[in-house]
Protein backbone atom coordinates (compact mmCIF):
# COMPACT_ATOMS: atom_id res chain seq x y z
CA UNK A 1 0.00 0.00 0.00
CA UNK A 2 2.82 2.40 0.89
CA UNK A 3 4.52 1.77 -2.48
CA UNK A 4 1.26 2.49 -4.32
CA UNK A 5 0.80 5.78 -2.42
CA UNK A 6 4.41 6.79 -3.17
CA UNK A 7 3.91 6.04 -6.85
CA UNK A 8 0.69 8.08 -6.96
CA UNK A 9 2.41 11.00 -5.21
CA UNK A 10 5.36 10.81 -7.60
CA UNK A 11 3.09 10.84 -10.67
CA UNK A 12 1.05 13.69 -9.20
CA UNK A 13 4.19 15.75 -8.60
CA UNK A 14 5.41 15.02 -12.14
CA UNK A 15 2.02 16.03 -13.58
CA UNK A 16 2.05 19.31 -11.63
CA UNK A 17 5.59 20.05 -12.79
CA UNK A 18 4.65 19.43 -16.44
CA UNK A 19 1.55 21.62 -16.05
CA UNK A 20 3.66 24.43 -14.56
CA UNK A 21 6.41 24.34 -17.23
CA UNK A 22 4.73 26.80 -19.64
CA UNK A 23 4.55 29.51 -16.97
CA UNK A 24 7.64 28.55 -14.95
CA UNK A 25 10.05 31.01 -16.61
CA UNK A 26 7.82 34.00 -15.96
CA UNK A 27 7.20 32.87 -12.37
CA UNK A 28 10.92 32.61 -11.66
CA UNK A 29 11.90 35.77 -13.50
CA UNK A 30 11.27 39.21 -12.02
CA UNK A 31 12.10 41.18 -15.21
CA UNK A 32 8.44 41.70 -16.06
CA UNK A 33 8.74 39.72 -19.30
CA UNK A 34 6.46 36.80 -20.08
CA UNK A 35 9.38 34.90 -21.65
CA UNK A 36 12.53 33.97 -19.80
CA UNK A 37 14.74 37.08 -19.91
CA UNK A 38 18.43 36.41 -20.53
CA UNK A 39 21.36 38.45 -21.71
CA UNK A 40 23.85 36.10 -23.34
CA UNK A 41 25.94 36.28 -26.43
CA UNK A 42 24.62 33.89 -29.02
CA UNK A 43 26.11 32.08 -31.96
CA UNK A 44 25.87 33.43 -35.50
CA UNK A 45 23.75 31.29 -37.81
CA UNK A 46 25.48 30.94 -41.16
CA UNK A 47 25.25 34.08 -43.28
CA UNK A 48 21.90 35.13 -41.80
CA UNK A 49 21.85 38.61 -40.23
CA UNK A 50 18.98 39.78 -38.00
CA UNK A 51 17.50 43.23 -38.67
CA UNK A 52 20.01 45.90 -37.61
CA UNK A 53 17.59 47.80 -35.36
CA UNK A 54 15.29 44.89 -34.66
CA UNK A 55 14.95 41.34 -33.48
CA UNK A 56 14.94 37.84 -34.87
CA UNK A 57 13.02 34.90 -33.44
CA UNK A 58 14.96 31.68 -34.04
CA UNK A 59 13.29 28.26 -34.07
CA UNK A 60 14.97 24.90 -34.62
CA UNK A 61 12.74 22.30 -36.29
CA UNK A 62 12.13 20.40 -39.49
CA UNK A 63 9.41 20.31 -42.13
CA UNK A 64 8.13 16.77 -41.57
CA UNK A 65 7.92 17.08 -37.79
CA UNK A 66 4.52 15.95 -36.56
CA UNK A 67 4.71 17.23 -32.99
CA UNK A 68 5.83 20.70 -31.90
CA UNK A 69 6.90 22.22 -35.22
CA UNK A 70 3.38 22.69 -36.63
CA UNK A 71 2.27 24.37 -33.39
CA UNK A 72 5.28 26.69 -33.28
CA UNK A 73 4.86 27.48 -36.98
CA UNK A 74 1.29 28.62 -36.35
CA UNK A 75 2.52 30.68 -33.36
CA UNK A 76 5.20 32.31 -35.51
CA UNK A 77 2.79 33.10 -38.36
CA UNK A 78 0.38 34.70 -35.87
CA UNK A 79 3.24 36.75 -34.40
CA UNK A 80 4.26 37.70 -37.95
CA UNK A 81 0.78 39.11 -38.53
CA UNK A 82 0.72 40.92 -35.18
CA UNK A 83 4.15 42.48 -35.78
CA UNK A 84 3.79 43.26 -39.48
CA UNK A 85 5.79 46.40 -40.30
CA UNK A 86 8.09 46.03 -37.27
CA UNK A 87 11.79 45.21 -37.45
CA UNK A 88 11.19 41.54 -36.56
CA UNK A 89 12.18 38.49 -38.59
CA UNK A 90 11.58 34.79 -38.00
CA UNK A 91 14.38 32.32 -38.74
CA UNK A 92 13.59 28.62 -39.14
CA UNK A 93 16.74 26.50 -38.75
CA UNK A 94 16.21 23.01 -40.10
CA UNK A 95 17.42 20.06 -38.06
CA UNK A 96 16.95 17.78 -41.08
CA UNK A 97 19.10 19.24 -43.86
CA UNK A 98 19.26 15.86 -45.60
CA UNK A 99 15.49 16.02 -46.30
CA UNK A 100 14.75 19.76 -46.11
CA UNK A 101 16.22 20.99 -49.39
CA UNK A 102 16.93 24.65 -50.12
CA UNK A 103 13.97 24.75 -52.52
CA UNK A 104 11.61 23.14 -50.01
CA UNK A 105 12.67 25.58 -47.28
CA UNK A 106 12.35 28.55 -49.62
CA UNK A 107 8.82 27.46 -50.56
CA UNK A 108 7.90 26.90 -46.90
CA UNK A 109 9.02 30.32 -45.64
CA UNK A 110 7.51 32.07 -48.66
CA UNK A 111 4.14 30.60 -47.70
CA UNK A 112 4.58 31.80 -44.09
CA UNK A 113 5.15 35.48 -44.86
CA UNK A 114 7.69 38.05 -45.95
CA UNK A 115 9.40 38.27 -42.54
CA UNK A 116 10.32 34.55 -42.58
CA UNK A 117 13.74 33.16 -43.42
CA UNK A 118 15.27 29.69 -43.34
CA UNK A 119 18.74 28.35 -42.72
CA UNK A 120 19.94 24.91 -43.74
CA UNK A 121 23.11 23.65 -42.01
CA UNK A 122 25.36 21.35 -44.07
CA UNK A 123 24.53 18.24 -41.99
CA UNK A 124 22.49 16.93 -39.07
CA UNK A 125 25.59 17.09 -36.87
CA UNK A 126 26.09 20.76 -37.73
CA UNK A 127 22.40 21.46 -37.01
CA UNK A 128 22.65 19.54 -33.73
CA UNK A 129 25.73 21.54 -32.72
CA UNK A 130 23.99 24.82 -33.56
CA UNK A 131 20.88 23.85 -31.54
CA UNK A 132 23.16 22.95 -28.64
CA UNK A 133 24.78 26.40 -28.82
CA UNK A 134 21.28 27.77 -28.16
CA UNK A 135 20.81 25.39 -25.18
CA UNK A 136 18.54 23.17 -27.23
CA UNK A 137 18.81 19.53 -28.20
CA UNK A 138 18.23 17.39 -31.24
CA UNK A 139 18.60 13.63 -31.49
CA UNK A 140 17.76 11.14 -34.20
CA UNK A 141 15.08 8.66 -33.09
CA UNK A 142 15.33 5.63 -35.33
CA UNK A 143 12.16 3.65 -35.91
CA UNK A 144 9.79 6.31 -34.58
CA UNK A 145 7.17 8.27 -36.51
CA UNK A 146 9.11 11.52 -35.93
CA UNK A 147 12.75 10.82 -36.83
CA UNK A 148 14.18 13.76 -34.85
CA UNK A 149 13.41 14.52 -31.23
CA UNK A 150 14.13 18.15 -30.41
CA UNK A 151 13.44 21.06 -28.10
CA UNK A 152 10.77 23.56 -29.12
CA UNK A 153 12.09 26.85 -27.74
CA UNK A 154 11.85 30.20 -29.49
CA UNK A 155 14.98 32.32 -29.10
CA UNK A 156 14.76 36.11 -29.44
CA UNK A 157 18.06 37.60 -30.61
CA UNK A 158 19.34 41.05 -31.48
CA UNK A 159 21.36 42.02 -34.57
CA UNK A 160 24.58 40.80 -32.93
CA UNK A 161 22.92 37.47 -31.99
CA UNK A 162 22.66 38.49 -28.34
CA UNK A 163 20.00 36.26 -26.82
CA UNK A 164 17.41 38.32 -24.93
CA UNK A 165 14.35 36.11 -24.42
CA UNK A 166 13.54 32.41 -24.59
CA UNK A 167 10.09 30.83 -24.79
CA UNK A 168 10.47 27.20 -23.77
CA UNK A 169 7.11 25.80 -24.84
CA UNK A 170 4.77 26.02 -27.83
CA UNK A 171 1.86 26.65 -25.44
CA UNK A 172 2.16 30.44 -25.59
CA UNK A 173 0.03 33.45 -24.78
CA UNK A 174 0.78 35.28 -28.05
CA UNK A 175 -0.54 38.59 -26.76
CA UNK A 176 2.07 38.52 -23.99
CA UNK A 177 4.81 37.43 -26.41
CA UNK A 178 3.88 40.37 -28.66
CA UNK A 179 4.08 42.72 -25.64
CA UNK A 180 7.54 41.36 -24.80
CA UNK A 181 8.79 41.88 -28.35
CA UNK A 182 7.36 45.40 -28.59
CA UNK A 183 8.96 46.23 -25.21
CA UNK A 184 12.36 45.03 -26.46
CA UNK A 185 11.95 47.01 -29.69
CA UNK A 186 10.99 50.15 -27.72
CA UNK A 187 13.90 49.72 -25.32
CA UNK A 188 16.23 49.36 -28.29
CA UNK A 189 14.94 52.53 -29.97
CA UNK A 190 15.07 54.50 -26.69
CA UNK A 191 18.67 53.47 -26.04
CA UNK A 192 19.73 54.49 -29.57
CA UNK A 193 18.36 58.05 -29.22
For domain 31-192, give its CATH number from 3.20.20.100, 1.10.1280.10, 3.30.210.10, 3.40.30.10: 3.40.30.10
How far is 69 from 60, CA to CA, in rounded Å? 9
Q: Are 55 and 183 in contact (CB under 8 A)?
A: no
pLDDT tens sequence across 98-140: 999 999 999 999 999 999 999 999 999 999 999 999 999 999 9
pLDDT tens sequence across 166-190: 999 999 999 999 999 999 999 876 6
Amino acid sequence: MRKKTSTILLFSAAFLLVAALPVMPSLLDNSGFYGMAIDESGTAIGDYRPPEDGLAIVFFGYRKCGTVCPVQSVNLMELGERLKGEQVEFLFVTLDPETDTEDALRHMVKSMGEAFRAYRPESFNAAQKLASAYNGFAAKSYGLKNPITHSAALHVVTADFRRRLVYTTPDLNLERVEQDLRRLLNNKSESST
